[in-house]
Structure 1
Amino acid sequence: MAPSDPLVSVEQVTRKFPLDHNAVTALSNVTFRIDAGEFLAISGPSGSGKSTLLNLIGCIDKPTSGRILIDATDTSRLSPSETSLLRREKIGFVFQTFNLIPVFTASENVEYPLLIQGVRTNERQKRVAEALANVGLSGRAHQRPDLLSGGERQRVAVARAIVHRPSLVLADEPTANLDTRNATQLIDLMRDLNHTLGLTFVFSTHDQRLLEHTPRIVRLTDGCIISDTHSERFEGATREQILAASVS
């Protein structure tokens, strides 16, 4: 990827789903780019295409037409095994329902992506400890999900998403199942990881609590981008200034 290339390039993407003898258009001719280090929300009402777009960027699905490039790689041209490898190495996922393995401890849930990658034991242990420390859960490493609060479970999900050091973290409605206190803590955590580790975060949401913390918002309606806005109050701001502005 050349220095001027975006991390993600969405180019004239359309996604249609078959329905009886017709087709439903979930996305229509969507084009935008995401640069490395951004903190970006995809927003819109239910049925606007948010989750569909996130799934396409995450290579869980493929567009009907158009293309998506990640690190200048055209994902539509990848084989299934190449697509799986790209997801494992470059993308972290945070799900609305946490998707933790209930019989695993927090550390074992975080470790799981590294096991799939075949990372050696010592390196796995180091990365898991680092990821849990980054989300403030070092002291809860040996607890199973049923002994954790909703906010703690989502933090474990974030640690799992970043443990393999991806280029891109995708989150689908990450605050939807959290109360205001835990949602605010999660937002602060993601902004902190974005700022300190340079992680690129892209998430779907209609949660105003999260949108108030977001420098860039891409808004969808009926599968089309209706606006792509940057908030001037975040330009060149420090983490402390961003958080202060977000709650003002």
Structure 2
Amino acid sequence: MDEIVGVESVSRRYSLDHNSVSALDDASLHICAGEFLAIAGPSGSGKSTLLNLIGCIDKPTTGRILLQGVDTSRLDSKRLTALRREKIGFVFQTFNLIPVFTAAENVEFPLLVQGVPVAQRRERVAAALASVGLADRANHRPDLLSGGERQRVAVARAIVHRPALVLADEPTANLDTRNATQLIDLMRELNRQLGLTFLFSTHDARLLEHADRIVELCDGRIASDSLTEGGSHVEVLASCL
């Protein structure tokens, strides 16, 4: 299988009150195309740090991260921004929708930034909203949508530019059980039908049950990395086959 992400001996340290604090310590991880992979661990274990590094929002202190073979640590901020816009979709637990935009306009925004022609934007926005079951809510602003609908708009926005990787940071954290279950089923369906690669951090046992693979972090280090097979875990190889 093709490798989407390669995390190679990555550490991230921050300065706090003249002290060096390690948020991630010598982490190595390989993510293959089409995976549905969960990053698990307690608060402060490094989950968000790892997602921010893979998402080109932050840079490692040591080590390197490859995105489809490109060493992101060697890119300047302009090239990192372009890579992030083209290759990665983001889903946040707080939705991060623009309140004055309609659902369709929120989904369209990444395409607008990329300079996609109007006709193509409209076609792709309509397809993305239909894929998350919100074709009939296209003209509604976020304040007229439920929490579950807002998160589905966020998913549509994340996939509309056809990214190589979708990153979701605690995507079910602000949803009730019914909406969380619907979102999990939706992401899983997009993963299987469209071959989208999902990497998500979560505390949600329901979401972990649907993962193909679970990477557990503890104190900034990878404690385990295993495939899930019928409820059991099998340790994975270091790279894609």
Identity across aligned pairs (percent)?
A: 72
- For 2:236, the equivalent position in structure 1 comes to none
**Of residues 107, 113, 120 in structure 2, which corresponds to 1:116?**
113
Paired position in structure 2 for 1:13: 10
- How far residue 79 of structure 1 moved from its aligned partner, in angstroms, is 1.4
Q: 1:224 aligns with which of 200, 221, 228?
A: 221
Match among 103, 106, 123 for residue 106 of structure 1? 103
Name the count of aligned residue pairs: 232
8 Å Cα contact 2:93-2:174 kept in structure 1:
yes
Aligned partner of 2:87 among 61, 85, 90 = 90
TM superposition score normalised by structure 2: 0.95
Question: How far does the alpha carbon of each residue in 1:56-106 deviate from its partner, in whole angstroms, 9 at most, with x for none?
Answer: 000000000000000000000011111011001000000110000000000
Cα RMSD (Å) of the superposition? 1.1
Q: CA deviation at 1:233?
A: 2.7
- Counterparts of 2:60 and 2:79, CA distance in 1: 17
The gaps in structure 1 that reach 5 residues or longer are 236-248
- 2:53 pairs, out of 46, 52, 56, with 56
| 1:204 and 2:182 aligned | no
Pairing of 1:10-159 with structure 2 (within 5 A):
10-159=7-156
Q: Distance in 1 between matches of 2:184 and 2:228?
A: 17
Bigger RCO of structures 1 and 2 (CA < 8 A, at least 6 apart): 2
Residue 216 (structure 1) shift:
0.3
1:177 aligns with 2:174: yes
Per-residue CA deviations over 1:116-163 (Å, capped at 9, x if unaligned) read 000000000000000000000000000000000000000000000000
Q: Give the alignment's TM-score, normalised by structure 1.
A: 0.92
Q: Distance in 1 between matches of 2:203 and 2:24?
A: 17
CA deviation vs aligned residue, 1:169-219 (integer Å, no higher than 9, x gap): 000000000000000000000000000000000001111111011110000
Give the letter aligned to residue 23 of structure 1: S
Separation in 2 of the partners of 1:210 and 1:190? Answer: 10
CA distance in 2, matches of 1:144, 1:185: 21
